[in-house]
Amino acid sequence: MVSTRCIRISVLLVLIYSPVFSVYAVGIKMSDENSLINCFFKNLYNFSFREADSMIVVMKNSNMDNNTLTNIRANLAWWKLLSGDSIGTNLRNCDSCIHESIESGLKNKKKDLISLQNIVFSYSLKARLENYRGNTLKAIIYFYKSIFYINECIDSPIRDEKLNLVLGLYFYFIDYIENEYSIMNALLFTFPKGDKNKGLIYLENCSESDNEMIRTEANYFLLKIYAYTERDYSKACQYALFLTQQHPNNLVYSLEQFKLLLKMKKDYEAEILQRRLIEQIRSAVNINNNQKNHFISQIGELTKTEIKL
């Protein structure tokens, strides 16, 4: 039987890592390809899944390299999964894309920063997927594999926002794990020491990036950090508010904001947001009934009430 401590470590590790930080790590890009990727993520974050699907078709016809395209497809399947859409299908699609990316990355004998970031992405997303399935030990194993390649990224003389995002997460959580879970120190002693303050500085800098993907992911990570490890709910709310303002149709972000209001015992604000969310879900044209029921059910679980479409 998996111990409670083991489950807490797993949830902590795989909850926070992003499924998107390496999608841009594919070498020098033409401006039109960058525009396609930016357009894809804008649609993805705003729950415009039909448009995101269409963008993948366009990207396939643009001669985009296969590894980038595979990572993008994994992102789409993961976000559809989080939205409650076709759970079995999107689990398989996400898993298939991840395995394809891992195999491709490990076959590449030239492990430059680009390939290293892609491997980190694949293993960390695989960890999240296994955690979603309830396979706690597998999730920890895949996360641990990702750390090996993050370690190699740290030694890279090249610095960019994508790498800073990864390093911010690494420095913060390695420090946190070393302090909170001494049992893990034996597994981490060969890796560079963590530094929570340094990690937060990296992430806060990324949260102000002009790059929409980097900015959105950094704000989401900071929300999670302040909500679940720092327990600074007021600060977490600031990041949740930013995300919901930037991506008003993203019900995952809106639900995080709702959870925070409940944690802070702000019952009046939570009730107002709850009514608005239920109305938004019921009238949404960008999601199907399965997705609507998924979020209605989550709101009901949080409030211990029965809510129907």
**Does 23 have pLDDT greater than 50?**
no
d(CA 123, CA 180): 24
pLDDT in tens, 54-73: 999 988 888 888 888 898 99
Residue 243: band (very low, low, confident or very high) from pLDDT cuts 50, 70, 90 = very high
Rounded to an integer, the average pLDDT of 236-245 is 97
Residue owning tokens 């980038």: 68
Helix (H, G, I), strand (E, B) or coil at 235: helix
**Does 208 have pLDDT greater than 80?**
yes
Rounded to an integer, the average pLDDT of 212-238 is 94
131 Cβ contact partners less than 8 Å away, ≥ 6 residues apart: 10, 11, 14, 15, 139
Rounded to an integer, the average pLDDT of 197-205 is 95
d(CA 199, CA 176): 10
Cα–Cα distances (Å) from 52 to 82, 149, 222, in that order, read: 15, 29, 25
**Does 30 have pLDDT greater than 50?**
no
- Spell out the domains of the chain, with CATH numbers in brackets: 4-230 (1.25.40), 231-309 (no CATH)
Q: How much of the chain exceeds pLDDT 70, in percent?
A: 90
pLDDT in tens, 114-127: 778 888 888 888 98
> If you average pLDDT over every residue of the chain, what do you get?
85
Q: How much of the chain exceeds pLDDT 90, in percent?
A: 51
Q: Can you say whether the dihedral through the CA atoms of 249, 252, 257, 261 is positive or negative?
A: positive
Rounded to an integer, the average pLDDT of 212-240 is 94
